[in-house]
Structure 1
Amino acid sequence: MDAGKQRRRWEYWWISLCFFLLPCFGQRVSAQIRYTIPEEVKEGYVVGNIAKDLGLDVSTLVDRRFRIVSGSNEGLFQVNQNNGILYVEQHIDREALCVENVACLISLKTVVENPLEIHYVEMEVTDVNDHAPNFAYKDVVLEIAESTLPGEDFQLQEAKDPDSGINSVRFYKLSQTEYFELELRENGGEKKVPVLKLRKLLDREHQVTHSLILTAVDGGNPPRSGSIIINVTVLDDNDNRPKFSQEFYSVTLQENAPVGTLVIKLNATDLDEGQNGEIVYAFLKNIEKHVYDTFDLDKTGEIRVKGDLDFEKNNVYRVGVMASDKGQPPKTSNCRIIIKVTDENDNGPEIEVTSLSDVVPEDSKPGTVISLVSITDKDSGVNGKVVCKISDNVPFELKSSFKENMYSLVTNAKLDREAVSQYDVTITARDTGQPPLSSVKTLKVQISDVNDNAPEFLHNPLELYLMENNPPGASIYSVSAFDKDLNENAAITYQIIREDGAKSHMSSFLNVNSDNGHINALKSFDFETVYRLYYSPGQ
């Protein structure tokens, strides 16, 4: 299919929008939106107009600072603040991002301000058939004794395909031959393994070698395939092969089991005697590299731990083991082992804090959002369940979001900068494993000043005694007031007024410097005159 047709094919991708709007402290709301896109799209590929899908006014996006604020995958996508378009910023490879056959979801968190809105965007990356099935080796050699009876089977190498779902390996086919047929057999997982089954007695004298082609085909459209050459060499007798007690074993190991821990002791038997009945064990060549890195198999059949076991990296190992005798030619048989790793509480919670403001005004109402808090724990089950709290005796609290382990740090009481100008808010996250693990992060919250305090005099009322016949213009007293606020909110000016707020008649006798509070007498006072003015009968 040419590039144009391929592009048009994906232009019909669907968008599913799931809004879960919850009240979020006043006019602030949180929502979730989901898009689905194919992998391997070009950089600049338009995912959708997230602003319109969320009902945001496109013309306000720049002023409201619409942006992606967190997430390890935020570099894959960007938002155009001029039109609200969400587009692909970097090449997206589903196989690099996600585990095979698991829904590939990328979580993004976006924020707009004034008022604050938080939106969670979930991107589902769908698979395209961009990989062909591949065998670990180009060819394989099978040695089969001519005395082998029809019905005997020989497990073949599995093909690997990084693609998922229908695009992964669907079936195998074998080149035409009268001596062999192909059978697919369960291996303890979702996929099946190819088994070569003998249909007809081999005759070494008639034909020494047989060359077969095994092809693995995926379910993509168009399908992709990969092949391996199977060279069968017909050998003479060793007419009994080793037999395992069972074809499939299941073992459970604790995470972080120490190096040297015995996983399983295999025991195959062979009815032959001497070297024809002496058995050695080995891993099958097609098992994954991380199996070789983690486990060791000796010739006696003991599998032991030789590397680190980490549930968070690999919780299941699929191991193929071959038992071979020392006859000439040797005979072999295979078994499959599933090693399951159980989780231990070896990862503490991780706290991520996104602060929305450097300082908080002291007149902020209860419920004002200060920061966004995200908690993650790599463990699973009870070991990954986290309880979060903050320090006591602070005017803040954590509010749970609709998304698990997402919180908002909000005010829950009135703030007073004059009483406390800074708070150290300690956030503690503790999981419920045994023993529990915890993490702590301290957030400094600065309280900014507002003009909520009036000036105060050190003494009120003031009594001033003045000798008569004072020189006009002389300083007779100095008053001083203070204000608990800061900066311009604490700047003080002085004036003389009556108790009712009107200009005092004393202003004709006295003058106060508005900047420093120094009081000057405008004229010379005469005790007898002032006394008659204020205290004469009938006045």
Structure 2
Amino acid sequence: MLFSRLQGLRAQRLLLFSLLLLTAWEAGSGQLHYSVPEEAKHGTFVGRIAQDLGLELAELVPRLFRVASKDRGDLLEVNLQNGILFVNSRIDREELCGRSAECSIHLEVIVDRPLQVFHVEVKVKDINDNPPVFKGPEQRIFIPENRQLDSRFPLEGAVDADIGANSLLTYTLSPTDYFSLKVETTEELSKSLSLELRKSLDREETPELQLFLTATDGGKPELEGRIRLQITVLDVNDNAPLFDQAVYRAQLVESTAKGTLVTTLNASDADEGVNGEVVFSFGNDISLDVQEKFKVDSISGEIRVVGDLDYEKTKSYEIQVKAVDKGTPPMSNHCKVLVKVLDINDNAPELAITSLSLPIKENAPLSTVIALIKVSDLDSGVNGQVTCSLTPHVPFKLMSTFKNYYSLVLDSALDRETTADYKVVVTARDGGSPSLWATASVSVEVADVNDNAPAFAQPEYTVFVKENNPPGSHIFTVSAMDVDAQENALVSYSLVERRVGERLLSSYVSVHAESGKVFALQPLDHEELELLQFQVSARDAGVPSLGSNVTLQVFVLDENDNAPTLLPHGTVGAGSSVSELVPRSVGSGHVVTKVRAVDTDSGYNAWLSYELQHAVGSRSPFRVGLYTGEISTTRSLDEVDAARQRLIVLVKDHGEPALTTTVTVLVSLVENSQAPKTSSRALVDATGHEASLVTVNVYLIIAICAVSSLLVLTLLLYTALRCSAMSPGGACAPGKPMLVCSSAVGSWSYSQQRRQRCALERVHPRPTSWPSAPAYPKVLNQQKRDNHP
């Protein structure tokens, strides 16, 4: 006994091993195929799914390897340690697929980073685990004794829940001389069983017969079911109703209204009277579904629709109808009604969007998978053929990856600064007429990358700042915009360090890293530095960081902070007082001497005027030129004029407020005989004046050369900076920088065309008391000639 049990266990293991060896898989159109027998035990090996998909075991967990199924998801499972697909719970093919010829479990295997989806089909193989089953323990058959030989009496067959060879039933009848078993098979209908009378019956001799009908399936091992046939021999009503055809056929669309006539049965009975009256009814083995959908009129034989038909649930109905007469005992006959349900387009497509990979970076490569889309339609044929389309004018497209599976992929480049979010609408439309459609929307957010550098409104700014500004004063604010988002748009500012003369730029100005405010760290001196040109850099916080520069030209405006200074040459020195001898015989307009002074300021602040400070009540015979500084007589000298004249000359600039200096000229009136000799004085004056002129001319030439060199250098530097700020085309086209004049009350702007005028008016504003416009340059030129002989 123990040996036979071990033999059986070994045979079962060999059978299971053989089934596993026959498990076939293939990678076709992105799908794996496996097979597993139903009722397999927990842990039964199905396939090495990780290996077959080309995945490494070490990457299953990091890449979020997971299995999803639209069927029962607990039937199969994957061991993430070894990548083996195994049976997780009991698989009953009959429960899963009913009597469908094909039974498969469809799995979706999804891995991330990058997103991939695989389709796995596990075919469930049928085993012979269901025996044939009859509806009841027995069937009662009433046969009149006068029935002719070869008469047939229908029997109800058995049902096997298995499929294929396991459900192929063969019937055997227990031995008897009176009946033989007839089995009729067609391609469309199930087997029809009947007893054929082979020997005449005699109720008085044999009133009852008890036979057994056995149904055996084609499985290995074979399973069988049995029913008892209880045959009663009748003595009366020896003609059964007869249908005009054995099978009635009808076709109905699934939208057929209730009350629609399916067919009309016609049965006749050769008997007369009550024995010939026929009553129609459904067979005893009719299903509840048929009873809910159809109804037969017992008198007329009309079969009508009483329920809703649905092609997607049931495609055909096989109805057994019985005709029974009213004889005693009643006699009956059977026929079959085959109703085929025709499909109409009554189901819209269904969309399911899964495995979203959002947001997507704006620099994502083309064909990046964004989402997986599954479509389905319960209709069949053309009505179930679904096509998908996208919202027009979006940078995405649909790619068919498998039957009814699509991937939403990137089709063209993205730019978050242009469009930061897309609402993608997927439309699924079937091929019916009229077609039905469904939509699903996906909001695709575009993630920012640092692809835009901060940009200034213009490449160059010109700023005017008054000299002697307080240390730390705000002179300008630079601002750059970055169209990126978050940290990629966070801009910080810094100086582009360089040397200004002997000092670093950072000793003059600084810039606030966050606000972009530019501050003067020390008082600026127009006489020391007229133009301070530098660059400010703006960089974002992206990785890698991007940046750009802007040029600032800071012109230091002059203030009246220097008083006039007397020149130490000429007939009047730089002392507090000067003595001059004037003959009394000179007439009106005689030039006594000339006061010369300069102002280190510029423009209006350096324009000097001269005037005499008269004593109270005195009437001086002298005057001083307003702009020339020449002291001359206003009239002929009289004897009454004092011999010593004290003239105080006030030299004043035109600044606000004006600064002044004074010089005292002592004029002694002498007689002609006391006047110095002309030749001697002239020689001394000529010698001294000539020496003074030589010295002044040398200084003047040096100053002019220095100023000219500085001007040329400034122009060359300005041109080079302008060219470097232009586009890479190589041409230095004139730009349109903004001119910003900074003052105590605020800032204002002028166009590039008015820059020269703005600078001139700020340096040399025209007062109301000045001469007319043509006379102003003449006065300045005259003053330069007077002050610099």
The AA in structure 1 aligned to 2:112 is E
SS in 2 for 1:529: coil
SS in 2 for 1:538: helix
Pick one of 9, 34, 37 that aligns with 2:15.
9
Residue pair 2:71, 2:105 contacting (<8 A) in 1 also: no
Partner residue, 1:270? 269
Higher relative contact order (CA 8 A, sep 6+): 1
Moved more, 489-498 or 383-392: 489-498
Residue pair 2:145, 2:238 contacting (<8 A) in 1 also: no
Partner residue, 1:362? 362
CA distance in 2, matches of 1:532, 1:478: 18
Decide whether aligned partners of structure 1 residues 261 and 46 sit closer, same or farther in structure 2, where only a CA change above 3 A counts. same
Residue pair 1:188, 1:338 contacting (<8 A) in 2 also: no
SS in 1 for 2:527: helix
CA distance in 1, matches of 2:14, 2:273: 68
CA distance in 2, matches of 1:508, 1:173: 116
The AA in structure 1 aligned to 2:707 is S
Decide whether aligned partners of structure 1 residues 7 and 309 sit closer, same or farther in structure 2, where only a CA change above 3 A counts. farther
Partner residue, 2:732? none
Decide whether aligned partners of structure 1 residues 20 and 505 sit closer, same or farther in structure 2, where only a CA change above 3 A counts. farther
SS in 1 for 2:424: strand
Pick one of 7, 13, 26 that aligns with 1:18.
26
Partner residue, 1:427? 426
- Cα distance, 1:322 vs structure 2: 1.3
- Cα distance, 1:355 vs structure 2: 2.9
CA distance in 2, matches of 1:398, 1:533: 60
Deviation track 1:163-188 (CA, whole Å, cap 9, x = no partner) reads 11111142011111111111101256
The AA in structure 1 aligned to 2:342 is T
Partner residue, 1:224? 223
Moved more, 160-169 or 236-245: 236-245
Residue pair 2:36, 2:125 contacting (<8 A) in 1 also: yes
Partner residue, 1:316? 316
The AA in structure 2 aligned to 1:79 is V
Partner residue, 1:212? 211
Moved more, 529-538 or 337-346: 529-538
Residue pair 2:494, 2:512 contacting (<8 A) in 1 also: yes
The AA in structure 2 aligned to 1:412 is D
Partner residue, 2:337? 337
CA distance in 2, matches of 1:417, 1:319: 65
1:48-87 equivalences in 2 (<5 Å): 48-87=47-86
1:86-165 equivalences in 2 (<5 Å): 86-100=85-99, 102-165=101-164
SS in 2 for 1:9: helix
The AA in structure 1 aligned to 2:382 is V
CA distance in 2, matches of 1:346, 1:89: 37
Decide whether aligned partners of structure 1 residues 72 and 422 sit closer, same or farther in structure 2, where only a CA change above 3 A counts. farther
SS in 1 for 2:433: coil
- Cα distance, 1:476 vs structure 2: 1.8
Residue pair 1:187, 1:336 contacting (<8 A) in 2 also: no
- Cα distance, 1:230 vs structure 2: 0.8
TM-score by length of 2: 0.64
Partner residue, 2:754? none
1:178-189 equivalences in 2 (<5 Å): 178-186=177-185, 189=188
Q: Is there any run of 5+ residues in structure 1 with no aligned partner, and where?
A: 22-30
SS in 2 for 1:447: strand
1:300-315 equivalences in 2 (<5 Å): 300=299, 301-315=301-315
- Cα distance, 1:528 vs structure 2: 2.0
- Cα distance, 1:190 vs structure 2: 5.7
Deviation track 1:52-86 (CA, whole Å, cap 9, x = no partner) reads 12222111111112112452343322222222111
Moved more, 237-246 or 526-535: 526-535
CA distance in 2, matches of 1:49, 1:349: 35
CA distance in 2, matches of 1:107, 1:391: 30
CA distance in 2, matches of 1:225, 1:20: 40
1:102-501 equivalences in 2 (<5 Å): 102-186=101-185, 189=188, 191-300=190-299, 301-401=301-401, 403-497=402-496
CA distance in 1, matches of 2:281, 2:176: 30
CA distance in 1, matches of 2:365, 2:232: 84
Moved more, 189-198 or 304-313: 189-198
Residue pair 1:47, 1:85 contacting (<8 A) in 2 also: yes
- Cα distance, 1:538 vs structure 2: 2.0
SS in 2 for 1:167: helix
Partner residue, 1:536? 707
CA distance in 1, matches of 2:532, 2:373: 72
CA distance in 1, matches of 2:461, 2:532: 21
Residue pair 2:248, 2:263 contacting (<8 A) in 1 also: no
- Cα distance, 1:234 vs structure 2: 0.5
Higher Rg of the two aligned structures: 2
Partner residue, 2:539? none
CA distance in 2, matches of 1:264, 1:351: 40
- Cα distance, 1:115 vs structure 2: 3.1
CA distance in 2, matches of 1:482, 1:81: 51
Q: Is there any run of 5+ residues in structure 2 with no aligned partner, and where?
A: 534-705, 711-789
SS in 1 for 2:407: strand
Deviation track 1:70-128 (CA, whole Å, cap 9, x = no partner) reads 52343322222222111222321101121425121222111222333321101100001
TM-score by length of 1: 0.93
CA distance in 2, matches of 1:486, 1:88: 50
The AA in structure 2 aligned to 1:333 is N
The AA in structure 1 aligned to 2:15 is R
Residue pair 1:472, 1:521 contacting (<8 A) in 2 also: yes
CA distance in 2, matches of 1:160, 1:20: 37
SS in 2 for 1:59: helix
Decide whether aligned partners of structure 1 residues 69 and 480 sit closer, same or farther in structure 2, where only a CA change above 3 A counts. farther
Residue pair 1:345, 1:434 contacting (<8 A) in 2 also: yes
SS in 2 for 1:536: helix
Moved more, 315-324 or 325-334: 325-334
Deviation track 1:268-300 (CA, whole Å, cap 9, x = no partner) reads 112221111111111111233321221111212
Moved more, 233-242 or 440-449: 233-242
The AA in structure 1 aligned to 2:355 is S
SS in 1 for 2:175: coil
- Cα distance, 1:533 vs structure 2: 9.4
CA distance in 2, matches of 1:78, 1:327: 64
CA distance in 2, matches of 1:187, 1:531: 113
Residue pair 2:357, 2:369 contacting (<8 A) in 1 also: no
Residue pair 1:389, 1:429 contacting (<8 A) in 2 also: yes
Moved more, 231-240 or 67-76: 67-76
Deviation track 1:449-492 (CA, whole Å, cap 9, x = no partner) reads 11111112234322211101112222222222221112211111
CA distance in 1, matches of 2:400, 2:100: 32
SS in 1 for 2:91: coil
Q: CA RMSD in A?
A: 2.0
Decide whether aligned partners of structure 1 residues 481 and 149 sit closer, same or farther in structure 2, where only a CA change above 3 A counts. same
CA distance in 2, matches of 1:152, 1:187: 21
CA distance in 2, matches of 1:17, 1:246: 49
Deviation track 1:21-68 (CA, whole Å, cap 9, x = no partner) reads 6xxxxxxxxx21100100111233221110112222111111112112
CA distance in 2, matches of 1:70, 1:392: 32
CA distance in 1, matches of 2:44, 2:424: 42
CA distance in 2, matches of 1:19, 1:447: 35
Identity of aligned residues (%): 42
